[in-house]
Amino acid sequence: MLKFENLTIGYNRHPAVHHLNATISEGDFIALIGPNGAGKSTLLKTILGHVLPLEGKVLFNNISKTEISYLPQSSAVDRKFPISAEQFVATGLWHESGPFQRITKEQREKIHHALRRVGMHGFEKRPINALSGGQFQRVLFARKLIQNARLLLLDEPFAAVDEQTIEDLMKVLIELHNSGATIVAVVHNLELVRKYFPKTMILSRELIGFGLTAEVITTENLARASSIGFGDVKADICEVSHHA
């Protein structure tokens, strides 16, 4: 589905991740882990085309960018806009109906069904700025649910939410995966990764490990990841290409 080929990414010619070679296959359910500043968010933004590679490329095989849905870190989502949970979820349909169109009866049913699936039945008319952090995260998931994306990229979807919300939203992700979605989620909680994610990618400015979670999350790999984590962030772009 996606192939990273000798991919070096970063900002202002300062690389955040070097020479990444890896393939994400259709049906993968991947936890993306690594220390702060490891380049996890930057990798997701590069897939979306928001950040351009410094070197190498992302190859898209049999998937278009419109089939990718992205959930940014919740702190990056503006909640000041005065709309209800229902209207907010409806913005997830803008790609098919355009902004500011009346919601059809069918669409409203789809939105209400999604809100029910994330345990937010009864909150349809609640302004989004009057929801708790966990409730808003549930609404963000409902917005993803109605988009039928083939590839879902989630940046720390479980940060700062309570245990029950994590369990409920994990069930939603598993359902999405069972119905065919490929999922890549940045997760910090290793217990959660071990319990639910079949595959793990460890990034720490380079690829530390990628494969079956039980084989990749080792003491050795975690030690390597944290020792590189806060490396030379001001380093200039590598001059050497590491073609394997």
Ligand X SMILES: Nc1ncnc2c1ncn2[C@@H]1O[C@H](COP(=O)(O)OP(=O)(O)OP(=O)(O)O)[C@@H](O)[C@H]1O
Is the CB of 170 or the CB of 233 nearer to ligand X? 233
Is the CB of 35 or the CB of 134 nearer to ligand X? 35
Asked if 225 touches ligand X (CB under 6 A), the answer is no
Q: How far is the CB of 40 from ligand X (least distance, A)?
A: 4
Asked if 16 touches ligand X (CB under 6 A), the answer is yes
Asked if 18 touches ligand X (CB under 6 A), the answer is no
Contact pattern for ligand X over residues 34 through 53, marking x by CB under 6 A? x-xxxxxxx-----------
Q: Give me the sheet containing 199-203, strands edge to edge.
A: 68-71, 151-155, 182-186, 29-33, 199-203, 207-212
Cβ-count burial 49-65 (b if 16+ within 10 Å, e if not): eebebbbbebeeeebee
Q: How far is the CB of 237 from ligand X (least distance, A)?
A: 13
Count, residues near ligand X per rule CB under 6 A: 11
Give the CA dihedral 14, 18, 19, 25, nearest 10 degrees: -120
Is the CB of 37 or the CB of 127 nearer to ligand X? 37
Sign of the Cα torsion 21, 184, 197, 180 reads negative
Q: Which residue ranges make up the site for ligand X (CB under 6 A)?
A: 11, 16, 34, 36-42, 233
